[in-house]
């Protein structure tokens, strides 16, 4: 899996915008829960461009595209270096989407691990995220990766009830070597 940041401050090229729109549209069930789009069955390129431009305008935000070795867009992740609350010391994963046709193949787990590695390399000791209360599948996914419940609150943007999860980022140990025979 190759991660590439989406560059802030420039228009998203048409072919990439089409790929991103297909990615978002493949996650209709999530968008029905989130309410992020007026009609989850009719997500339009201009809506995606507007949403991602808004994300990239946030200081410390990063939009990462996850591609397979053959170039297929597998997913997308949005991270925040810091939460707007100054009392919150941890970076956040704001969104992790895997293309609907690629779900269940381990890409979500691999993308989450890559995000954790990036944050760890930048000196983070933990990472946080929020899962909407009406998304039990999302909660099960993140808790299976070692994220634990920290708090319950409403999100800042739309006032939706959420579970705030946190995971300590321990230093990874190198794989053990097997003695040669």
| Six-digit token string for 97 | 């989407």
Q: What percent of the chain has pLDDT over 90?
A: 66
CA distances to 71, 125, 141 from 4, rounded to whole Å, are 11, 23, 23
Task: Express each pLDDT in 127-167 by its tens digit.
Answer: 999 999 999 999 999 999 999 999 999 887 778 899 999 99
Residues 6+ apart with CB under 8 A from 171: 120
For 111, other C-beta atoms within 10 Å of its C-beta total 22
Global confidence as pTM: 0.88
First-to-last alpha carbon distance for the chain, in angstroms, is 33
Q: What are phi and psi of 173, to 5 degrees?
A: -95, 145
Rounded to 10 degrees, the C-alpha dihedral 167/135/92/78 comes to: 130
Q: What is the mean pLDDT of residues 112-132?
A: 94
* 2-168: CATH class: alpha beta
Please state the length of the chain: 181
Spatial contact of 108 and 99, defined as CB atoms under 8 Å apart: no
More confident residue, 180 or 10: 10
Domain segments of the chain as ranges: 2-168
Task: Express each pLDDT in 55-76 by its tens digit.
Answer: 998 889 999 999 999 999 999 9
What is the C-alpha separation between 76 and 2, in angstroms, rounded? 11
Residues 6+ apart with CB under 8 A from 4: 64, 65, 67
Residue 16 scores a pLDDT above 90: yes
Q: Which pLDDT score is estimated for 118?
A: 94
Q: Distance of alpha carbon 74 from its chain centroid, rounded?
A: 12
H/E element, 101: none
Mark 144-169 as b/e (b = at least 16 C-beta within 10 Å).
eeebeebeeeeeeeeebebbbbbbeb
Residues linked to residue 132 through DSSP beta bridges, in sequence order:
162
């Amino acid at each position: 899996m190759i991660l590439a940041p989406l560059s802030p401050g420039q228009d998203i090229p048409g072919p990439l915008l089409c790929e991103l729109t297909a990615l978002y549209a493949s996650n209709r069930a999530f968008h029905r829960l989130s309410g992020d789009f007026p009609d989850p069955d009719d997500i339009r390129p201009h809506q995606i461009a507007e949403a991602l431009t808004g994300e990239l305008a946030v200081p410390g935000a990063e939009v990462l595209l996850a591609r397979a070795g053959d170039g297929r867009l597998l997913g997308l992740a949005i991270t925040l270096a810091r939460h707007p609350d100054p009392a919150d010391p941890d970076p956040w994963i704001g969104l992790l989407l895997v293309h609907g046709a690629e779900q269940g193949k381990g890409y979500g787990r691999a993308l989450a691990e890559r995000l954790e590695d990036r944050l760890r390399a930048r000196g983070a000791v933990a990472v946080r995220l929020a899962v909407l209360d009406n998304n039990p599948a999302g909660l099960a996914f993140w808790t299976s990766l070692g994220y634990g419940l920290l708090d319950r609150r409403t999100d800042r943007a739309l006032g939706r009830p959420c579970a705030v999860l946190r995971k300590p980022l321990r230093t990874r140990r190198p794989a053990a070597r097997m003695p040669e025979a």
